Structure 1
Amino acid sequence: MKNSCVLLLLLLTLKVSTGRPAFAQTRPADSLRRLLSTQPRADTMRVRRLHALINELAANNTPQAIGLSKQALTLSRRLADTVGIGRSLLWLSILHRRQEQFAAARHYTIQARELFARSHDRRREARACMELSLIDVQQSQSTSALAWALRGLPLAEQAQDVGLQAQLRGTIGSIYYQIGDYASALPMLRTALRDGQQLGDLQVVSAVLNNLASLYQTQRKWSQARRYYQRAVTVSRQMGDVQNEISNEIGLAEVYAEQGNQTRAWEHSQQARILMRTSGDYYNLPAVELMLARAFLLNRQPDSAVVLAQRGMQLSQMTRRNGSISNAADILAQAHAALGDFKAAYEHQRLFSSYQDTLAGETTQRQTSALRYGYELDKKQNQIALLNQTRQLQIQKSARQRQQLYALLAGLAGTVLLAGLLWRNVYIKQRANRHLNEKNAEIARQRDDLTRALAELKAAQNQLIQREKMASLGELTAGIAHEIQNPLNFVNNFSEVSVELVEEFMDGPWQQLPEAEKAYATELLASLTQNLQKITQHGHRADGIVKGMLQHSHVSSGERDAIDLNALVAEHLAMAYQGFRAQHHDFSATLTSNLDAQVPKVLLVPQDVGRVLLNLFANAFYTLLERLSRDEPDYAPVLTVLTKRLPGEVQIRVHDNGLGMSEEIQSKIFQPFFTTKPPGEGTGLGLSLSYDIIVKGHGGTLTVSSREGQGTEVTIGLPC
């Protein structure tokens, strides 16, 4: 749905530029024409009427709107009307961008931005920055688009224009999503949605809801994706915005198709087609064609998938939509591979990879990370400068107070000399000293507060730099894993296809060989089949490692909640036992739970800790099954789970009477890729990821105690 997100951003510019939805309004346009004809006086009022007429004609008569914008620009320059010049330039930019004349659009917008910057009009300068960002978005120039949007956001904040801030944050969040930076996209989009709802701005709300739905769809969080798409459909219908409604219906169809619910997917795709026919909107036609092509591919109808995907690619190439071209190439590669046309599959896979690199390459990720870091660093530096200025003002105030105090003392001394009253002189001096000590103490406290604030800011800055370094390392790991994934998929696919070809040969041409050659051919084909099966086995092993690397490099963005730890442990123990027995029907074990009722609710991310518990329980069941398979007399598998409240923390202990581990294995158990399981049964990343979640993510402890032949105990400590 990335192309739909871009469309929603571009539709949002009508709201940004005109202040209301773009639709034909014949009567207001005719009234404005009559006013311009009957009142030909060349003044600023005529400029405003020209802009109002441009607003009415922009959606349906772009050439005439461009001509009127040029008239307004000429008249504004003659009148030296700065606001009129800027608005005329922005209208020319928007109208040329809609006609995909990007060079002219950029030229007019840059002129408008420079004009607003010279006149210190922060609000309109921010609008010009947003227009430049949208021009780059439409050309798939993510880095430049993000730079302009981040440049415009502080200007909108200075102008205190909450509506423009919401639009810019929606744009920034959409760009982050386009380049795959979901961790940065989510908070931006949520903030934009909150502001749009508070302002009652349905255009912003509709666009952000679609972006959030697409983000959750990409992360395969189906329930959240469906909920946001359905909300977006409702808002689009409230506004009468058919284009957005079509886009969201397509999104719902894609979600249901990816979940395998072809009936619901077909219903929503048909609804999208009906809306397109009734409204005459064919912008979304490539997305509908590609969605149906993927549905045919999932239903194992590659011939139909090829026809629809080729048509979708042709339409996407005509409109220069790189995201749709990439999607079409991916579908064609899989469909041709299913048909056995591996040459065509390889060519389309190369095309898909090149577009993926263009849309979200490593260079783009580094550049956008640098832009985001620069934006955050500028905010911190501004805070530091403000604190330094406050400290200087305080020092000056203290100096003035000291001068005033000295003058007061001098005056009092003169009064004492003139009056000759020694007792009054002593009293006045004592009072002055007390006041001076209080002022000094107050100044010292303020100085200490400023020093502490500056230290905290420096620590926050260092933490931000370290976080960016870790994020870059995670992005590098994820990038490497993604690059390995594509060739690995081809290895697995082609090895499986090759096994099928050998079986077809054994069923067909092999029967026609002379009996003297059959034995030799059989031996060769058996060896070839065995080699291909080994390739498949180790390919799936490598695929598991790559997925583990992706999961290991993922930084959880879940929010912490106060969770009943005993309920969480009991729920995941039952879940793990049922799942293990589903794979090993003959396995059974005695489960013993001793859950401390005094354990309080713990602040944690339930999804992450639940994943750790599932991994520990699965490992315990595995070692119990291994020992059970040795047929030891009087052996009964037992798994014991305990929770306990301790001072400052709660503990979860998982004890099994399985095979146990040696000290050498225990020293390596938390290392990535280290596993004691046979090849194909483990990636070696489960305990490493569990260690990161508990120790690094929650500030807890994770330890293992084991003896060979007697069992293993894993202890989790969580702060409370």
Structure 2
Amino acid sequence: MHCYMQVKCLLFATLLMLSTVADIHAQKLNLDSLKQLLPVVSDSARYELYIKLSEETPNDSALYFADQAQQVAIKLGSKSGVARSLRAFGDYHYAQASFEGALEYYDKARLLYESDNNLSGMAEISKRMAFIQRTQGRYAEALEYAFQALKNYEKLEETRSVGDMLRFIGFVYNDQENEKSAMEYFRKALKVAEELDDELSKAITLRSLSELLDKQGNSAQALEYAAKALAIMQELGDAWDVATSNRYLGRIYHNRQDYDIAIDYYKKALAAFEKLGDKQAEVNTRRFLAESYYAQRRYELAIAQAEKAYEIADEIGMQKGIKETARTLADIYDAQGNARRALMFYRKYVEMKDLLLSSEVQSSIANLQTKLAVEEKAQRIKALELERSQQTLLRNSIIAGSVLFFAIVLLVFSSYRAKQQQNTRLQHALKQLRETRAQLISAQKIASVGKLATGMAHELQHPLHSVYRLTEFSKQLLASLKTDIQTTEITDERKIHLQATLERLEQHAEETLQHSAHATALIKSVLEYSSLRASETTDANLNALIADTLKASYRMWQDKYSDFEVVLSVELSERLGSLKLSSQEIRYVLFNLFNNSFDAMHEKQKKLAAADYKPELRVVSRVQNKMVEICVRDNGIGIAPELKEKVFLPFFTTKPTSARHTGLGLSAAHEIIKGYRGEITIESKPGEWTEVLIKLPVEHNEETLS
């Protein structure tokens, strides 16, 4: 007994030491002594030891201890214990950069934590899944998990964790270039850090704020925040954070065009990263240093740093670093006049850009498949648990004896009926899950094509602009040649021939300008529509959107045609409240509909040239059969029956192709409305009227019908 008490005391002291270690310079745990305790302690204590050993043991041994912890947790009947062991499996895969494997284990742990209503476990899992989603570039999913973690930490009143998640959310918004939201959450995180007197969190947040302020052109406050962050990091004595703060200051001074100061800070950061052996940080710092040398036209120094950065990035397989450094080298060699090297690195940049895009798409699809597979397994587990509980109930009822015969028969019948109904519901849920899976994978593929189209549109803008400018310049040269021909001493016949040739060339140049303008408009339309898909869904007042968009569209047409007057009839239902939608997307749809109506009425007014024709536009909003309806009716030229089915096709237009008519407006509007599970239809009588009807479901917005 005395020996047993000594063992218990030793175990208590060891666990107390493990639970209170916070200083990164604490003495390493004696793993061998922990292993010696395993055979002589209780199951609950043995579970805690296995978990700690899985966290502290390097390499594949961690998997063994996590598995042993899971077996003990199953024996104890602890759902949260099993979930914690699954989390240990996920942590191992995360450390090995096997993100899909980590997500699979985290998702299983999440389901168990939820069934056990363990807020702390749910928060930790959501935080880890958010980190992985951000690493993989899936920002919408990262924000979803981050807000789940934030909500649970707030319920638990874990203020330090709340501050960490606020800062993380700011990082994700910054990755998406949503500077307004990023600034909001960074400032919230800074407030929490100041309340806790957490100098490290305060410095990291100040550093992030300095980057945002620098992007917004507020370099003075950016420098102030970055300098404060550096001072705190120097006081804390963490070499990596000091180096990172120096690099932030270098970027700010570079953007201020104070290149000498920027170079000094970069050199300090580079020396520290080399000493620490952080290759990724060294790649980025050398590339920034090369950019500052390049800005000073010190090309040889710039090439030396960029080439070294490229070499290290290639050595460690840092694909993003290879891509960015290749682009920097292409710019430097191009400025130096070395066209061959510039072309070589530009091709490498394009190759890596395509590779990263393809990898991101494949990773997203794989993640969706994994997530859906886990959900299917969870459904099957629930069905098996229900069936087992029903069988137990049936067996116990039979043992009760013949006295309860009629009650048993009734119970069996009820149980059987419930089981059949449950099976039917499960089959229906499984069918819906599979359909959703197919839709999600299809949507991901479409999104990847959209990204590719947006990238191509960006790349095409510059050559089109060059074509347009060169054609204008050619027209000027042709005009100059025509003048020169008049003063040149040549035969009249030769003059007439040359002038005719120049006139044909001028005509060709004018056609080229028109086609270039149309192509530029198409690219602009593609980019505008692509930007709509990233817009946020909020509670929006639909009536206010209709009224504001109609007013803006009509003002635009009156500015263009001062004599164009339209009788506006607007009937907006007071039953409409707020709808969950993207204001930017719906405004885009309405703006296209109103512009088409004004265009049709203006065209009819020009054709008739009659004083008795009065353009009229009627706009109505209403609620019918749990659907919000928006009706737009004009008395313009109408649409021919054979063209009505084609109006929603991309690039289809009844107008001559020009910079104003690209044929993308109604197509984009149709896709947006479909995205809300709504519908858009067109009815028309040629020469008299056209009516467009939009229907949006409101089953999840019941307050709209109040």
Taking structure 2 as the reference length, the TM-score comes to 0.71
Residue 388 of structure 1 is matched in structure 2 by: 387
1:78 counterpart = 2:36: yes
CA contact (8 A) 1:293 1:305 kept: no
Residue 379 of structure 1 is matched in structure 2 by: 378
Deviation of 1:655 after TM superposition, in Å, equals 1.4
Relative to structure 1, the CA distance from residue 270 to residue 357 in structure 2 (aligned partners, 3 Å threshold; closer, same or farther) is: farther
Relative to structure 1, the CA distance from residue 669 to residue 129 in structure 2 (aligned partners, 3 Å threshold; closer, same or farther) is: same
Of residues 502, 508, 520 in structure 2, which corresponds to 1:540?
A: 520
Partners of 1:453 and 1:679 in 2: how far apart?
A: 59
1:618 counterpart = 2:595: yes
Instruction: Name whichever of 195-204 and 242-251 sits farther off.
Output: 242-251
CA contact (8 A) 1:333 1:349 kept: no
Q: Secondary structure at the match of 1:233?
A: helix
Residue 690 of structure 2 is matched in structure 1 by: 712
1:666 counterpart = 2:644: yes
Partners of 1:589 and 1:503 in 2: how far apart?
A: 37
Partner AA of 1:115 in structure 2: Q
Of residues 131, 149, 161 in structure 2, which corresponds to 1:174?
A: 131
Trace 1:399-418 onto structure 2 (pairs within 5 A): 399-400=398-399, 403-406=402-405
Q: Secondary structure at the match of 2:648?
A: coil
Relative to structure 1, the CA distance from residue 145 to residue 439 in structure 2 (aligned partners, 3 Å threshold; closer, same or farther) is: closer
Partners of 2:534 and 2:401 in 1: how far apart?
A: 55
Partners of 2:460 and 2:544 in 1: how far apart?
A: 44
* Residues 262-306 of structure 1, C-alpha deviations (whole Å, 9 max, x = no match): 12x552354124312431322355566557767879xxxx97595
Residue 569 of structure 2 is matched in structure 1 by: 593
* Residues 149-174 of structure 1, C-alpha deviations (whole Å, 9 max, x = no match): 33443454567542232122012123
Of residues 472, 490, 501 in structure 1, which corresponds to 2:459?
A: 490
Relative to structure 1, the CA distance from residue 108 to residue 606 in structure 2 (aligned partners, 3 Å threshold; closer, same or farther) is: same
Instruction: Name whichever of 171-180 and 234-243 sits farther off.
Output: 234-243
Q: Secondary structure at the match of 1:640?
A: strand
Residue 44 of structure 1 is matched in structure 2 by: 11
Partner AA of 2:183 in structure 1: R
Partners of 2:522 and 2:217 in 1: how far apart?
A: 32
Q: Secondary structure at the match of 1:283?
A: helix
* Residues 619-651 of structure 1, C-alpha deviations (whole Å, 9 max, x = no match): 223333444555723244332212345565553
Q: Secondary structure at the match of 1:674?
A: coil
Q: What's the C-alpha RMSD, in Å, of the aligned pairs?
A: 4.8
Q: Secondary structure at the match of 1:571?
A: helix
Deviation of 1:253 after TM superposition, in Å, equals 4.7
CA contact (8 A) 1:495 1:536 kept: yes
Trace 1:312-331 onto structure 2 (pairs within 5 A): 325=321, 328-329=324-325
Relative to structure 1, the CA distance from residue 40 to residue 86 in structure 2 (aligned partners, 3 Å threshold; closer, same or farther) is: closer
Partner AA of 1:658 in structure 2: G
1:262 counterpart = 2:217: yes
Deviation of 1:186 after TM superposition, in Å, equals 3.3
CA contact (8 A) 1:313 1:328 kept: no
Q: Secondary structure at the match of 1:715?
A: strand
Trace 1:186-335 onto structure 2 (pairs within 5 A): 186-219=143-176, 221-255=178-212, 261-263=216-218, 266-280=220-234, 281=241, 282-283=243-244, 286=247, 289=250, 325=321, 328-329=324-325, 332=328
CA contact (8 A) 2:323 2:352 kept: no
1:129 counterpart = 2:89: yes
Of residues 66, 82, 89 in structure 2, which corresponds to 1:113?
A: 66
Q: Secondary structure at the match of 1:633?
A: coil
Instruction: Name whichever of 151-160 and 650-659 sits farther off.
Output: 151-160
Partners of 1:397 and 1:618 in 2: how far apart?
A: 73
Partners of 2:68 and 2:692 in 1: how far apart?
A: 66
Trace 1:518-557 onto structure 2 (pairs within 5 A): 533=513, 536-537=516-517, 539-544=519-524, 546-547=526-527, 550=530, 554=533
CA contact (8 A) 1:254 1:291 kept: yes
Trace 1:610-649 onto structure 2 (pairs within 5 A): 610-628=587-605, 632-634=609-611, 635-644=613-622, 646=624, 649=627
Partners of 2:377 and 2:416 in 1: how far apart?
A: 24
1:573 counterpart = 2:528: no
Relative to structure 1, the CA distance from residue 294 to residue 331 in structure 2 (aligned partners, 3 Å threshold; closer, same or farther) is: farther
Partner AA of 2:645 in structure 1: S
Q: Secondary structure at the match of 2:152?
A: helix
Relative to structure 1, the CA distance from residue 504 to residue 590 in structure 2 (aligned partners, 3 Å threshold; closer, same or farther) is: closer
Deviation of 1:662 after TM superposition, in Å, equals 0.7
* Residues 367-396 of structure 1, C-alpha deviations (whole Å, 9 max, x = no match): 211221122222222222222223333444
Partners of 1:247 and 1:628 in 2: how far apart?
A: 63
Partners of 2:466 and 2:458 in 1: how far apart?
A: 12
* Residues 408-450 of structure 1, C-alpha deviations (whole Å, 9 max, x = no match): xxxxxxxxxxxxxxxxxxxxxxxxxxxx4x8766654554444
Structure 1: gaps (5+ residues): 1-38, 94-104, 407-435
Residue 425 of structure 2 is matched in structure 1 by: 456
Partners of 2:332 and 2:442 in 1: how far apart?
A: 36
Residue 690 of structure 1 is matched in structure 2 by: 669
Relative to structure 1, the CA distance from residue 113 to residue 285 in structure 2 (aligned partners, 3 Å threshold; closer, same or farther) is: farther
* Residues 658-711 of structure 1, C-alpha deviations (whole Å, 9 max, x = no match): 232111111122334433342443554443443344456244x42211123323
CA contact (8 A) 1:604 1:698 kept: no
Instruction: Name whichever of 379-388 and 80-89 sits farther off.
Output: 80-89
Partner AA of 1:209 in structure 2: L
Residue 367 of structure 1 is matched in structure 2 by: 366
CA contact (8 A) 1:641 1:653 kept: yes
Deviation of 1:231 after TM superposition, in Å, equals 1.1
Partner AA of 2:441 in structure 1: S
Q: Secondary structure at the match of 2:621?
A: strand
Partners of 1:469 and 1:288 in 2: how far apart?
A: 47
* Residues 457-508 of structure 1, C-alpha deviations (whole Å, 9 max, x = no match): 3222222221221121122122123234334433321343466678899999
Question: What is the number of equivalent residue pairs in this alignment?
Answer: 612
Deviation of 1:73 after TM superposition, in Å, equals 0.8
Partners of 2:207 and 2:466 in 1: how far apart?
A: 33
Q: Secondary structure at the match of 1:592?
A: strand
Q: Secondary structure at the match of 2:609?
A: coil
* Residues 182-212 of structure 1, C-alpha deviations (whole Å, 9 max, x = no match): 4433332221110011112234323322333
Partner AA of 1:388 in structure 2: E
Residue 448 of structure 2 is matched in structure 1 by: 479
Partners of 1:575 and 1:402 in 2: how far apart?
A: 80
